[in-house]
Chain A
Amino acid sequence: MRERKRGPARIVRTLLPVVFVFGLAVGNASTVAAQVENQESPIVTCEACHGDPRFLVGKETAEEQAALLVPDSLLLDTVHSQLKCVDCHPGPAMGYPHGPQVAVGCGTCHESEQTDWEVSIHALDVIEDGDAPTCAGCHGVHEVYSIDDRRSPTYPLNVATMCGRCHADPSIIGTYFSSPEEAQARVAVEQYHETVHGAALERAGLALSATCNDCHESHRVLPASSPESSVNRANVVKTCGDCHVGILETYEEGSAHGAAYREHLRGPTGHEAPACVDCHSAHSIVEADEPRWFVGVVEECGKCHEDVYETYFSTYHGQVTALGFELTAKCSDCHTPHNMRPATDPESSVHPLNLVETCARCHPEANQSFVRYYAHGDASDRERYPVLFWSWLFMTTLLVSVWTFFGLHSLFWLIRVTIERARGTGHGT
């Protein structure tokens, strides 16, 4: 990168005196002329004008002032400190005085970033005269710092704020993400602060935690619907796995979800096999130790595993979960979070041979008889759980018949006493 910058820079540096002499010969700007008279050197630097606040007389807006007042000191500790003005603004070299100058494309040096950006949703919008960011929109104009520099808007701790300038701006969100399918995009930045990733960055100050560009890429930002997108279903497992290497291994190597995901299988409910975001969500990822995670994950699993979701709530585990407590066993406590396998798989945590060990995580004294508990027993399923069905039927019959008999008894009693009282013959009057 740096090698490439030096080429044009050297050429420009060599040409600079020539350029300015030429410029002076035809120029009539009094400031420049005065400066030349006052200085012994015939070399005029950009700083001479653009470093002097008086140069801004008549420039009202902050944008104009910022664009025009560019003292050398401003660039001194930027990533571009080795560059000269004309490296990016070759215009003045072509004549003086110079009108508004357009910078050369950053892609002149940053070729691959330019290429990535050009296919991004941001570039598409720019081409359509939208207000999506070009390079400067994210990196700044003159004060461009390295992504490792705390001051850079692209420094990990600053990225969410930087993206949020647009993605949390109600007017921009309203323009670009107004359709129902884009509901998630409307709250993405806002929700991010509450996620485990956002909390790690902002509350724990952990610069390594994932921020916007870690999942969405820095330059090739694409909507999740695009097959090329890093957050498309087809790619998102790899994207998460870039950081969560161990989880990715477990998921891909043996889990039923990983295998089905690889095969693009759909479950009986028509859902595709779950990728990371299906259980963890995209922008409301919470730490898997939090109560709200434990209670919420059952709902996530239940979206596909409908029947076992129902039967789970007929057990004590499920009842306490439904009451909003995290302590009793949730899906992942028995089936593991990422290594879930069918009970027929000898490596499954719920294979009969492994049940004692699995149950013993919470019930240390669990034994072979103890684990014959039906964790998803269903009293309405006469085929699979006859003993539960008949117990249920017997108890229900008992309840209904006893209550019906005495309920009618009470009702008749009330009617008879009311009749007697109307006739003036009742008791207790």
Chain B
Amino acid sequence: MAATPGFETRAVHAGASPDPTTGARQTPIFQTTSYVFDDVDHAASLFNLQTFGYIYSRLTNPTVAVLEERVAALEGGRGGTATASGHAAQILALFPLMEPGADFVAATKLYGGSITQFGRTFKKFDWRCTFADFDDPEAVRKAIGPKTKAVFCESLANPGGVVHDLQRIAEIAHGAGIPLIVDNTMATPYLMQPIAHGADLVVHSTTKFLSGHGHAVGGMVVDSGKFDWTKSGKFPTLSEPEPAYHGLKFAETFGDLAFTVHGHAVGLRDLGACQSPMNAFLTLAGIETLALRMDRHCANALAVAQFLEKHPAVSWVSYAGLPSSKYAALAKRYLPKGAGAVFTFGVKGGYEAGVRLVESVQLLSHLANIGDTRSLVIHPASTTHRQLTPEQLKAAGAGPDVVRISVGIETVADIIADLDQALAKSVKKAA
């Protein structure tokens, strides 16, 4: 076997060797809250982070640990922290970096739920978010101030087939002494590995393509292990003594493991947003077929996008895999295996036509998720992005005529036929 096994091999095997006790080949679901200590000294060593082992499933769990290693291996990271959801992953990723009064710079083109979490809910922690147009890397540079702790964007932005120049943005972040955090949910590590392009932390909603079957909510934070948390003095949580661990300094003690150790020992311990072993098991099973599914997702998405682009009831299609996309060149560079399976298009007839389309589909499911084996469709302005102001809707690529589709792995002709009949209905009633 090669020194670094291939992606598909890692997707099936990483983190999961046969169970030592039983020989079970599939990863067991360790449905337990806690783990016995050998004796008091063993317990003390575990609580002091001085040895490897399990204490309590809010911090670590053997099934969840397999998922963490699996996703870290696929992303080319040093380690990972699994969380209850993608939103929890975003909090866990920022928690060691932020402090009251600090800010981070995020892209305007993000999943609507992230815009709300960053722009509104984080204000309760006095974490401030500055939104910038990441299509213009200079705008990112200008948005970084003295209290900025991180730069955040999506590798393939939800909802609209947007690809940023990650390498330039990583250079800008590193020039300011701060890490780049990339949400890789929509691309998955099969299509793109942000760490290879300079990202320091990668976050996921594993709910989407990783679990892949619409059956398990979860999230992940992956640390590259490459960022030096001690250099700038901006990250005292990791570089300075931690009173709750007898003055231990995470960066000094754990080196490139520090971020992930902190993610469990402090992040999950105190924020509590751990992933359940059952969800980790389902997500692991999903990841085993990630490469196969993503190839079909992308092929179907391209065919659907080409169909929509020619359809008279469709005014525009924003899919980075189409030559007409303004992101086509970036997609070719960053996503050579495919531009993902989630994109947006505009219906003639605006808000009303969009609503009628999503209510007319018969095979596609009208729901608020992406990355399922099933094809899914939603009208963001009336659902996922409805918390946003009209200006934010426009900036996020979720205007009134926008429909978002997550193309599944059904027979592509059936997906196209269903869209065709639903588009016919949207036009008729609009007229």
Q: Do A and B come from one complex?
A: no
A interface residues, Cβ below 8 angstroms from B: none
Chain B: residues with CB nearer than 8 A to chain A?
none
